[in-house]
Structure 1
């Protein structure tokens, strides 16, 4: 990793002795077994939201985490629904990682970051990320090229977390 950092820093300083301050953080992720990661690809179709919920339920049950299913299904439903409605592409990716918490990542083809909307009592849409904010331990969104990933973490009881 030291060599990779040095290479990146040198590449950033190629313009005639630039002396800008640069901070670089690199992390090597080790210790997550392959069977603690599940990935799916769905069509950007409203009918696929039910399949995403079902896939997550089945995976959590395989991992012996039935107590996590209800919140996970609700959170996945909200984020995948947003990707279907606002994703602008043909496919949606869903990844689930089991570590000290459950990490969910939903990727679509719209680079614009999501926004929390103000909603009134009679609005029928715009509450999805508010639900995520309320139920998830943390959430956020990142863009890479022409894609966006919305992620959230769901807590596990200490006895269920993987160390």
Structure 2
């Protein structure tokens, strides 16, 4: 008999800055106790960066739009997908999220650089109906 995989955890949050903290707390609370010391901080930071980017660049109406998160373990990784309903706001790098090369005096533009350094792998995928998903994976130790 095959082992039944864990069901992914799914959340929807309003496109509001307060959702960043709520999303980070939800992800941390869903990790098994033995993974929290190893992955909790890194997954929390990935969650914060990706949810912040989704709110800033992929939503239009704070009172109507939602950010979706899915977390699941598979193939030696914890996978986090953060999805937004848009393809980017005009004037904010509309389209696919990309790594930036911010100037030293710039106050922003480093979120995806952090994601790139923390995640084992990550990608950007269009959603089937509308919007964008950023999927990042963090590897976890065998037997952890």
Secondary structure at 1:146's aligned position in 2? Answer: coil
Number of aligned residues:
128
Greater percentage in helix? 1
In the alignment, which residue of structure 2 is the partner of 1:155? 139
For residues 48-90 of structure 1, give each alpha carbon's deviation from its aligned partner in whole angstroms, at most 9, with x where no partner exists.
0000000011011x45311210000001100000001011241
Flag the structure with more relative contact order, 1 or 2, with Cα contacts below 8 A and sequence separation at least 6. 2
Q: How does 1:16-55 map to 2 (within 5 A)?
A: 31-34=4-7, 37-55=8-26
Q: Residue 6 of structure 2 contacts residue 72 of structure 2 at CA under 8 Å; is this kept in 1?
A: no
**Structure 1 stretches of 5 or more lacking a match?**
1-29
Partner of 2:79: 103
Q: CA deviation at 1:135?
A: 0.6
For structure 2, the 5+ residue unaligned runs are 88-94
- Tell me the residue number matched to 1:91: 66
- TM-score w.r.t. the length of structure 1 is 0.74
Structure whose CA Rg is larger: 1
RMSD of Structure 2 on Structure 1 (CA): 1.5
